[in-house]
């Protein structure tokens, strides 16, 4: 699914009104009616206090439509107009009059702190103050109102975007921003819903298709792409019946050191779970018994050194090399890594200590095979590209890095991002139970396993990240978050493939 900017969404509104011959008021009615439908479906006529805070622009107009429809269906609704300016949008004024006609009451006006209503924890709050039109932080009594809503501990639903949150920049650390429990956003998600610094404000996000112009949406170049089941499924390549293991590639996993053999065991098993036809492992001698005992499906080759990698030489011709997990950063290992880079033509997957060796020995970056996949967590990324001011600055630095070295970068997190030059893909599977030791090693093995099967490296990264998260979601259903181990994620990869291809029940 495409993620668009506020400017692109405004253009989509204008084109929709022109092509359909409808007014902005009619489009607002269509969008806000969907918000009402979602609230009504969940509350089912519950006897609850609903307090709707409306700004004086178009987001406030959305809130007034919702208020009118809720009142019409018998809900107990209180409407507050947040009077932060003397200007009102035309659609706000139209729906202000419509609400008065329906309810026979005037919305209460808030223009100072003394006007704040009492909000109880059991109330249902609808935030329709700013939406995506905010261009400066809330200040004074307005900022205090947003904090007042947050401090009430009432359930808060944001219309399109939590008030105080910008669509295209990070608010100041002390800025007042609504912390919504649930956000109903129009047509496309906003990128700030998935950035580490801002995702906590939106709560659970649901996207409402308000019917904006399909031609525009199809052709517009997105800010980023959100990867869900539909998008991942389109990347999957079904197998032919008449095949053998050689058709699905050979993955060589290189890494490990004394006390850190488990990491390459996880990666190797995961490469096979992802469908690699063959998997070989190159490790120090100390890993031989562990690997042969725990993964009989893999072939094991050992370094001449007992405890670390010193000379990575084999007669193998793998389709992909997955390097770095548990490898350490000794001088001998760095030298061995350099020699491996110099002798490798195919795209590699590099993780963990491989990334740390790159950041500490920048000359190695120039040796990376084109389209190699790097899979850092945030601290490893910082060592690679340096510090950043905020998440938007971080994304720009990653763009520059991937362009310069012609690589693909997978930034692991609650929503894992995949970067390739100007293209950004945001994963929408996974859960907090995956925050466990070895989860990244499993991800590296999955991506490498897909690469070995001739998936393009970028496709392997996007699909691998989604399947990793989907497998984690399947684990969470069985085990809960706290009890999950990274090995569980690897073991549920078969269920993840089946779930990917399973049609959802309808009706």
Express each pLDDT in 450-461 by its tens digit: 999 999 999 999
Within a domain: 354 = yes
- Note the pLDDT tens digit of each residue in 176-197: 999 999 999 999 999 999 999 9
Residue 428 marked ligand-binding: no
* pLDDT at res. 507: 36
Q: Residues of the chain with pLDDT > 70: what percent?
A: 99
Residue 379 marked ligand-binding: no
Residue 138 marked ligand-binding: no
The total number of structural domains in the chain stands at: 2
Q: What is the pTM of this model?
A: 0.95
Are 203 and 280 found together in one domain? no
* pLDDT at res. 504: 60
Question: Per-residue pLDDT averaged across 417-422, rounded?
Answer: 98
d(CA 333, CA 440): 21
Are 100 and 7 found together in one domain? yes
Terminal C-alpha separation, the chain: 23
Residue 131 marked ligand-binding: yes
Q: What sections of 319-411 are H helices per DSSP?
A: 331-343, 353-360, 378-385, 391-405
Are 49 and 13 found together in one domain? yes
pLDDT beyond 90 at 135: no
Residue 326 marked ligand-binding: yes
Label residue 506 by pLDDT band (50, 70, 90). very low
Within a domain: 227 = no
Final residue of a structural domain among 221, 256, 282: 221
Per DSSP (E only), the strands in 165-313 are 182-186, 204-208, 224-227, 250-254, 278-283, 299-302
Within a domain: 412 = yes
Within a domain: 411 = yes
Boundaries of domain holding 262: 232-236+245-501
| CATH code (residue 75) | 3.40.50.10260
* pLDDT at res. 503: 78
pLDDT beyond 50 at 1: yes
Residue 59 marked ligand-binding: yes
Residue 222 marked ligand-binding: no
Are 262 and 203 found together in one domain? no
Residue 136 marked ligand-binding: yes
Question: Per-residue pLDDT averaged across 359-365, rounded?
Answer: 98
pLDDT beyond 70 at 143: yes
Residue 327 marked ligand-binding: no
Residue 294 marked ligand-binding: no
Residue 413 marked ligand-binding: yes
* pLDDT at res. 147: 98
Residue 42 CB contacts under 8 Å (≥ 6 apart), including other chains: none
Q: What is the mean pLDDT of the chain?
A: 97
Within a domain: 506 = no
Residue 305 marked ligand-binding: no
Are 408 and 329 found together in one domain? yes
Are 318 and 429 found together in one domain? yes
Are 377 and 437 found together in one domain? yes
Residue 503 marked ligand-binding: no
Question: Per-residue pLDDT averaged across 470-498, rounded?
Answer: 98
| CATH code (residue 451) | 3.40.1190.20
- Note the pLDDT tens digit of each residue in 315-324: 999 999 999 9
Question: Per-residue pLDDT averaged across 110-124, rounded?
Answer: 97
Residue 143 marked ligand-binding: no
Are 108 and 205 found together in one domain? yes
From the list 415, 360, 416, the residue with the least C-alpha distance to 384 is 360
Distances in Å between the alpha carbon of 148 and those of 118, 131, 423, 468? Answer: 9, 18, 39, 40
Within a domain: 507 = no
């Amino acid at each position: 699914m495409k993620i668009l900017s506020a400017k692109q969404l405004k253009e989509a509104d204008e084109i929709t009104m022109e092509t359909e011959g409808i007014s902005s008021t009619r489009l607002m009615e269509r969008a806000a009616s969907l918000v009402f439908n979602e609230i009504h479906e969940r509350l089912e006529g519950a006897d609850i206090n609903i307090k709707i805070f409306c700004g004086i622009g178009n987001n406030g107009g959305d809130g007034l439509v919702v208020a009118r429809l809720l009142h019409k269906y018998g809900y107990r609704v209180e409407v507050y107009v947040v009077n932060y300016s003397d200007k009102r949008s035309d659609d706000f004024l139209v729906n202000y009059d419509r609400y008065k006609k329906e309810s026979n009451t005037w919305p209460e006006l808030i223009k100072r702190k003394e006007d704040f209503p009492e909000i109880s924890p059991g109330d249902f709050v609808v935030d329709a103050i700013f939406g995506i039109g905010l261009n400066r932080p809330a200040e004074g009594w307005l900022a205090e109102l947003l904090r007042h809503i947050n401090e009430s501990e009432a359930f808060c639903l944001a219309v399109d975007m939590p008030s105080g949150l910008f669509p295209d920049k990070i608010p100041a650390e002390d800025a007042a921003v609504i912390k919504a429990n649930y956000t109903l956003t129009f047509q496309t998600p906003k990128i700030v819903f998935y950035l580490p610094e801002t995702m906590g404000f939106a709560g659970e996000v649901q996207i409402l298709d308000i019917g904006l112009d399909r031609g525009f949406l199809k052709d517009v170049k997105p800010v980023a792409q959100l990867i869900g089941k539909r998008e991942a499924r389109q990347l999957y390549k079904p197998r032919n019946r008449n095949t053998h293991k050689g058709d699905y590639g050979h993955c060589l996993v290189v890494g490990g050191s004394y006390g850190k053999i488990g990491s390459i065991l996880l990666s190797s098993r995961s490469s096979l779970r992802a469908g690699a036809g063959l998997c070989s492992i190159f490790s120090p001698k100390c890993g031989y018994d562990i690997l042969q005992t725990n993964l009989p499906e893999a072939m094991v080759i050992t370094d001449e050194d007992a405890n670390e990698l010193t000379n990575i030489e084999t007669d193998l011709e793998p389709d992909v090399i997955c390097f770095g997990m548990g490898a350490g950063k000794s001088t001998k290992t760095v030298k061995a890594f350099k020699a491996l880079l110099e002798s490798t033509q195919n795209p590699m997957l590099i993780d963990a200590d491989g990334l740390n060796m790159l950041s500490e020995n920048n000359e190695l970056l120039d040796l990376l095979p084109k389209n190699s996949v790097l899979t850092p967590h945030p601290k490893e990324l910082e060592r690679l590209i340096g510090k950043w001011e905020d998440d938007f600055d971080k994304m720009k630095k990653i763009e520059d890095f991937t362009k310069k070295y012609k690589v693909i970068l997978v930034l692991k997190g609650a929503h894992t991002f995949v970067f390739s030059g100007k293209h950004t893909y945001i994963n929408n599977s996974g859960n907090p139970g995956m925050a466990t030791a070895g989860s990244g090693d499993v991800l590296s093995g999955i991506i490498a396993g897909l690469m070995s099967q001739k998936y393009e490296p970028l496709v392997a990264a996007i699909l691998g990240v989604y399947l990793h998260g989907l497998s984690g979601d399947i684990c969470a259903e069985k085990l809960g978050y706290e009890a999950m181990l990274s090995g569980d994620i690897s073991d549920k990869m078969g269920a993840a493939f089946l779930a990917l291809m399973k049609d959802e029940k309808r009706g």
